[in-house]
Structure 1
């Protein structure tokens, strides 16, 4: 026994050391940009958008432990929203933090653990990748190389597991790989031990004991995966496709397929129990239940059909035709008798396909399309050379499957890989799944190359005939070393080089947005809700009852979570694509009120009508503040227009010194976004700038230059505040007398936060001997309990006509309450 134990320990030392090194390498790569995450004093900058909402969930759980935030009143004003994410990712993370913090974790501890968590998960994935590759090909060398390749993988997998990007995506990749790992070993064991109803009758539970635990573990992690991502039917569908394909393969070769029914039912049964116990899964619980239950029915049905056709000695070719007929008949029945069931089936084929504004979501765009053009560059960015190598390996395995006999595990790898490729070609975000497949397939080719060079004949350094490391080195010849260097240079170096280029930052809010949202937190009125309170969801068909002082903040959906989590204010639109408004499928649809319709509105009156329509109560506005950044005014503007499906004429062709170029046109400069950001709200009656951040080197000056050139404008060609915050107010009405038909002008000089000034002016014509202006700025400064603005007039308003000039002071109360000042 002692000798066996020592031998086992010696043989495990090399793979254990290799996996540990891969883990440490992966963790190192992912934590390099820590300085860009931990910035300032006690501020952690999380990457992207959704990581901020995961932080929101974790903080809420910790303040109400162990309750989940099932309804959030602090976003999508004035409706609030049900929990969009599946609960396990945040609940598990919050529990870890709660335990480490001994029931009262500090904010600093919470944010620090949340920041490092994705890097840890991204490094842990080397373990299931090692075992999956090892069990598929029966070679731990392939497992070690696959673990190394996934550890240094660039692209989407790196960006979604880097420090600070605390999103559920890395957990998806990890858990789906663990599901595959245990399924693969269950399949491997099922080849070694006959698993059928006959063998169970003959040998009882002893026959199933070596196999069933792995299928049950696969089901447990499929359940965990389902509770982590609401789109988890995707991987359940992959398993279902594999089991169907393997049924056909086994039947065509005259083999029993009962192990597939038993294993599939065990996997889906455990996952279904876990789903049934969950309160909700991002609004998809019923869909998950239906999908898993369908598998529980379909898997034994496929086996029964195979058994029946063998007993009746029917042609083997009838079986795949019968399976296809069953599948088609099921869809037809669903369409005839159950709209919800049919919607579920059809959604499997359309889930990854977006149209209209949905295509402007960066992670949802097709992998090989950029600006409407086909390109292979994303393959290199995401996988390096392993993209090509893995496709080559897939062809080899497909050839073996067709013309030779491959094993069940390799068939699963083929199906798994093809399905992931199908998904990522439609939405590039799924490239982080394919990094696992690319690593396994490329490792297979890499070890084959080494074997061709003679590495298969080199004995392990722990073998009895080798006895030590020096004896192992003596076996290595120049050809072996050359092959090893070649494999490393071809497979590993490009990926490592790309990863080291791509891991220099985590994204997320820049300094301008951090400053702007923190300014809002401390300088705008409290919206009347406790940020950490878990509010009850309103009854079906009713609105959440917001306090009278509550209000929304209108901005583009990209910034909703930052406004909520950093600024503690309630956005109208958010990265769940809620509150965007516009149209989805056709120009015949109503252009619904929301962020897209507000910012593309062609006049102040139209924009205000949208703002008012956002709130179902006609006495209340949908938002009190409007936040714009220079990206919305330039690069992101087309996305806002795309959500309305009406994109014509915002940009036009113009002759310049550099030839014909596409430039913003008249329709663009009339939009509310241009009026606010490029023109500082000059001439608007109910929108006033209350804060702006410093400027940056952006495209803003170029847009202004185009305006001056094409429309005889005279605005200053400079970059102004990167982020600008405006307040929607009733406006003060200034009235006076002037000769009939006389042109009357009102002006004021506004000094912004940064010290720059711009002119606010409006003109009108006196009618019946009177004139009237509605103005948004107060000349008397802020009042307690209201906006503590730091952008304001430098003096009185000047009203002039003919040779007459009058100075007018306007109180903050008049601006907020629609007061009237008579000159």
Structure 2
């Protein structure tokens, strides 16, 4: 017995070592950009957008342990928002930190664990990938190659598991792969140890007991997946589709389908209980997964019952799929007529990942094979390199094999799992990080086939037989096949991964500087950042203190403003507060970020800003934050959310031919008035801070303006990020001869040493009036500590007359009248 165990360990050691090496390689690749994450002793840069909100959740849980942040008043001012994320990812991470910190973790510990957590999760995907591949093909060599291929996989799978990208995405991949792994083993064990409802009725549970643990583990893994991602019904849907198709296959082959019904019911029952006891699931809510799991729980035995009934009546086998199809069509039509909620469920599931309108500008929600709205295979290569195409070869081969042979249930599941991921991925490219696992498993299958065709299996069998290696047995085909594996299967992925791992996402230095400035130089909103907020009653808004205010920016930057700046954004990366339209240009253009920044006048923009808040006495935001990307490349996204994209850019004949350039509608937009023109001439908006300048398309836009509209704005890159404040504005009034052109102006010196002239002009009717936003006397305690301001008093001139007037900060904030 001991010798047998030693022999097993000896045979397993190379594979265990291979998995360990693959894990280490995966972890190494993901932790390479350490310097880009720990950028200083007191600041850690997390990647992307959502990882910052996960940090927000983790910090809040640890300050109120073990309570989740179910409502957050610190975003989407003036409404706040219910928790968007499903809880398991953040609760697990916070619990780990809480234990490591003995109940009182430091901020350094919080940051460090959050930084490395996704890298470890990404590396752990190696393990279920190995077992899934091994069990589905019954070959440890395929499992080991799959583990190596997923360890070096590039694209979104890598980017979403890099250190610092502590988002739930990589946990989706890990938990869905674990779910698939256990389901594959459950199907394999059930095939080798058949059981039926009759066995259960007769208390003959010997075969079921061998399979039951795997179905239970599948249910637990699915439960974890569904409570870690609000869209977790997706993998339950994959399992449901598989069970339905496998029912049809088994019925046509004359096999029992009892194992599918029993296994499916166990899996869905466990997941149903997990979803039911979870207080909230965020985003999509609990309704869809609860209905979906219940539907599957009852549908599986019904499918088996129909199969048994058809067999008893000795009906032709092909009647079964025809009847199921007819039943599905009739059921859908009846649901539409009699049960709208059920029909709504069907529609929601079938269109789960479809996006339109402004949502198409969300990078991860756009179709995979699309760049700028045009078909392109570049994203396919960027995510999978050669493995994408090799996996397609495997799909064709396995599909043919399944059609011609008596395919195993676990291989059928692999195909359906793969097809469903491809379906989702083609609609939203984010699911590329799922397909990396499928691509690794399928490509490993092809890779081992190549090695076997080259004679490696025979070579090893010969070595075992002779108990020694004979160099004469080694052929050129052995060398060539290994080169193919290295150069075709591995090197392209490894090379791209090594390039990709040099960089981290997240806020650049300009945004870090600007959000930290917001934190230190603007009034406290009057809310405790770490508070456990109570959600308002239904139909009411959160009771913010009078000191609270919003910060208007494009939705991409909302989490940075909240988590780094500790200020309350109006819009955030949950696409809340964006405003605009969703389905038709005929809809109301709702107030929000898109309508504010595309507004065609200051008056229109201010009306939007004030309409954001339901209280007519309050404005939706006090500060506006813009960056050069919003003023150039991202501006189109703002227009897309309003469904009104025409005429912002116009064709112009140039020496290089017809080119599309920004036109009058663009330059009239509020975003252009703020960022390109520095809010010159605006009455209630003033620049209070700008980051250092960065290289961008800004000078190109200014050059177009000067050429088309005879402008004379300096062709220079200004602050990459600019912060503006919306104020009442001081009213300066005076007398001047009727018909005189009256001008008020002042030179503004920004915090980076740049100057520009702020001015307004009017024609006197005997009196004149100007509303101005800048204080010439500097900031006051308790208000904005601006470092961009006039270098002296305002100058008012008409005819030969020139007068000077100082304006205090109180005059600007309270809208006081100053008589000249």
Change (3 A) 1:294 1:794: same
Q: Distance in 2 between matches of 1:458 and 1:58?
A: 54
**How far 1:60 sits from its partner (Å)?**
0.3
**How far 1:457 sits from its partner (Å)?**
1.7
Partner of 1:811: 808
Aligned 8 A contact 1:63 1:532 in 2 = yes
**How far 1:655 sits from its partner (Å)?**
1.5
**How far 1:203 sits from its partner (Å)?**
6.0
Aligned 8 A contact 1:593 1:614 in 2 = yes
Pairing 1:78-93 to 2, within 5 Å after superposition: 78-93=78-93
Unmatched tracts of structure 1, length 5 or more: none
Q: Distance in 1 between matches of 2:163 and 2:466?
A: 42
Q: Deviations over 1:364-394 (max 9, x none)?
A: 1111111121111111100010111100100
Q: Deviations over 1:250-287 (max 9, x none)?
A: 00011100000000001101111111110010141121
Q: Distance in 2 between matches of 1:581 and 1:472?
A: 73
Q: Distance in 2 between matches of 1:63 and 1:324?
A: 53
Q: Distance in 2 between matches of 1:379 and 1:697?
A: 30
Partner of 2:560: 562
Q: Distance in 2 between matches of 1:361 and 1:590?
A: 22
- Whether 1:336 aligns to 2:334 is no
Partner of 2:603: 605
Aligned 8 A contact 1:580 1:595 in 2 = yes
Partner of 1:379: 380
Question: 3-state DSSP class of the match of 1:780?
Answer: coil
Q: Kindly tell me the number of residue pairs found equivalent between the two proteins.
A: 819
Pairing 1:46-57 to 2, within 5 Å after superposition: 46-57=46-57
Question: 3-state DSSP class of the match of 2:756?
Answer: strand
Of 551, 554, 560, which residue of structure 2 is paired with 1:553?
551
Q: Deviations over 1:180-227 (max 9, x none)?
A: 000000000011001212333456222211101101100101010000
Q: Deviations over 1:150-205 (max 9, x none)?
A: 11001010110111111000000000000000000000001100121233345622
Partner of 1:664: 662
Partner of 2:254: 254
Q: Deviations over 1:659-710 (max 9, x none)?
A: 2111000000000000000000000000000000010110000000000000
Q: Distance in 2 between matches of 1:242 and 1:694?
A: 55
Aligned 8 A contact 1:730 1:815 in 2 = yes
Q: Distance in 1 between matches of 2:431 and 2:459?
A: 39
Partner of 1:77: 77
Pairing 1:698-737 to 2, within 5 Å after superposition: 698-737=696-735
Partner of 1:267: 267
Of 677, 680, 690, which residue of structure 2 is paired with 1:679?
677
Change (3 A) 1:472 1:439: farther
Q: Distance in 1 between matches of 2:67 and 2:759?
A: 53
Pairing 1:732-771 to 2, within 5 Å after superposition: 732-767=730-765, 769-771=766-768
**How far 1:5 sits from its partner (Å)?**
1.3
Change (3 A) 1:445 1:743: same
**How far 1:331 sits from its partner (Å)?**
1.9
**How far 1:658 sits from its partner (Å)?**
1.8
- Whether 1:440 aligns to 2:461 is no
Partner of 1:301: 302
Question: 3-state DSSP class of the match of 1:266?
Answer: helix
Question: 3-state DSSP class of the match of 1:570?
Answer: coil
Answer with 336-345 or 503-512: which moved more. Answer: 336-345
Q: Distance in 2 between matches of 1:302 and 1:42?
A: 60
Question: 3-state DSSP class of the match of 1:800?
Answer: strand
- Whether 1:522 aligns to 2:523 is no
**How far 1:52 sits from its partner (Å)?**
0.3
Q: Distance in 1 between matches of 2:203 and 2:734?
A: 101
Answer with 629-638 or 367-376: which moved more. Answer: 367-376
Q: Deviations over 1:32-63 (max 9, x none)?
A: 11110110122110110000000000000000
Partner of 2:2: 2
Pairing 1:527-542 to 2, within 5 Å after superposition: 527-542=525-540
Aligned 8 A contact 1:195 1:258 in 2 = yes
Q: Deviations over 1:398-445 (max 9, x none)?
A: 101111111111100110001111111111111000000000000000
Unmatched tracts of structure 2, length 5 or more: none
**How far 1:589 sits from its partner (Å)?**
0.2
Change (3 A) 1:764 1:69: same
Partner of 1:394: 395
Aligned 8 A contact 1:704 1:715 in 2 = yes
Of 576, 589, 592, which residue of structure 2 is paired with 1:591?
589
Question: 3-state DSSP class of the match of 1:655?
Answer: strand
Aligned 8 A contact 2:550 2:623 in 1 = yes
Partner of 1:111: 111
Question: 3-state DSSP class of the match of 1:660?
Answer: strand
Partner of 2:570: 572
Aligned 8 A contact 2:220 2:271 in 1 = yes
Answer with 305-314 or 343-352: which moved more. Answer: 343-352
Change (3 A) 1:536 1:472: farther
Question: 3-state DSSP class of the match of 1:654?
Answer: strand
Q: Deviations over 1:741-800 (max 9, x none)?
A: 111000000000101000000000111x10000000001100000000000000000000
- Whether 1:20 aligns to 2:13 is no
- Whether 1:29 aligns to 2:26 is no
- Whether 1:421 aligns to 2:419 is no
Change (3 A) 1:784 1:472: farther
Of 788, 795, 798, which residue of structure 2 is paired with 1:798?
795
Q: Distance in 1 between matches of 2:11 and 2:469?
A: 16
TM-score (norm 2): 0.99
Q: Deviations over 1:84-111 (max 9, x none)?
A: 0000000000000000011011101101
Aligned 8 A contact 2:199 2:205 in 1 = no
TM-score (norm 1): 0.98
Partner of 1:196: 196
Aligned 8 A contact 1:459 1:466 in 2 = no
